[in-house]
């Protein structure tokens, strides 16, 4: 693995530290008035998802982990696992729900996701920032109930619950922000 200095840190870089595999969420170079410079970081554990803060002295060498990212298409669920197919080699892999995290709430068949692997271990699944999904069930909007910005609960085809405007009906296709789970627009 290549060693980089803490001066070369960027958001999204994956590091192999003594107690696991971490991704840099945020970093800040600090040069106090007296004493040596240091780098304050927020690191997310890729196996557990926990975020921790860690401070490094400036110029310290850390091990960068080489993560292989591949576009794969979601095919179907097999028990608890999700089955993905590589888009060019057609190889299929089973991904446990733990590796998917919140991405499982937005996956429909034929959707493409980016699978991150480290030494044949799946450490994460990245999906686009928005997804188009169908409303499976929602209450009808009441005539005259047109308060500005009023919302009602709706269940998506994946089972995820979201808040939608009153004019959205069962069977409509909507775009949802996959980072926050909020309604964006009707498609």
List the CATH number of the domain containing 55: 2.30.30.30
Residue 176: pLDDT over 90: yes
Residue 144: pLDDT over 70: no
Give the domain range for residue 92: 68-126
Q: Using alpha carbons, select from 162, 150, 155 the residue that is nearest to residue 136.
A: 155
Residue 159: pLDDT over 80: yes
Q: Are 92 and 114 within one domain?
A: yes
Residue 73: pLDDT over 90: yes
Please provide the average confidence, as pLDDT, over all residues in the chain.
Answer: 87
Task: Yes or no: say if 96 and 81 are a contact pair by the CB < 8 Å rule.
Answer: yes
Task: Yes or no: say if 74 and 100 are a contact pair by the CB < 8 Å rule.
Answer: no
Q: In the chain, how many domains are there?
A: 3
75 confidence band (pLDDT: 50, 70, 90): very high
Q: Are 171 and 157 within one domain?
A: yes
Q: Are 60 and 10 within one domain?
A: yes
Q: Are 143 and 182 within one domain?
A: yes
């Amino acid at each position: 693995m290549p060693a980089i200095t803490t001066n070369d840190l960027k958001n999204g870089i994956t590091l192999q530290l003594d107690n696991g595999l971490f991704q840099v969420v945020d970093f800040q170079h600090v040069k106090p008035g007296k004493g040596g410079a240091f780098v304050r970081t927020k690191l997310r554990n890729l196996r557990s998802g926990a975020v921790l803060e860690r401070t490094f002295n400036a110029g310290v060498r850390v091990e960068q982990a080489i993560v292989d990212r591949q576009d794969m298409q979601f095919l179907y669920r097999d028990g608890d696992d999700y089955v993905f197919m590589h888009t060019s080699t057609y190889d299929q892999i089973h991904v446990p729900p733990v590796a998917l995290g919140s991405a499982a709430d937005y996956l429909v068949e034929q959707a493409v996701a980016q699978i991150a692997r480290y030494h044949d271990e799946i450490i994460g699944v990245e999906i686009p920032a928005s997804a188009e999904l169908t409303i499976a069930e929602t209450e009808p909007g009441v005539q005259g109930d047109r308060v500005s910005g009023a919302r009602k609960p709706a269940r998506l085809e994946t089972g995820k619950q979201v808040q939608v405007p009153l004019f959205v009906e069962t069977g409509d296709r909507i775009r949802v922000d996959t980072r926050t789970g909020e309604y964006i627009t009707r498609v």
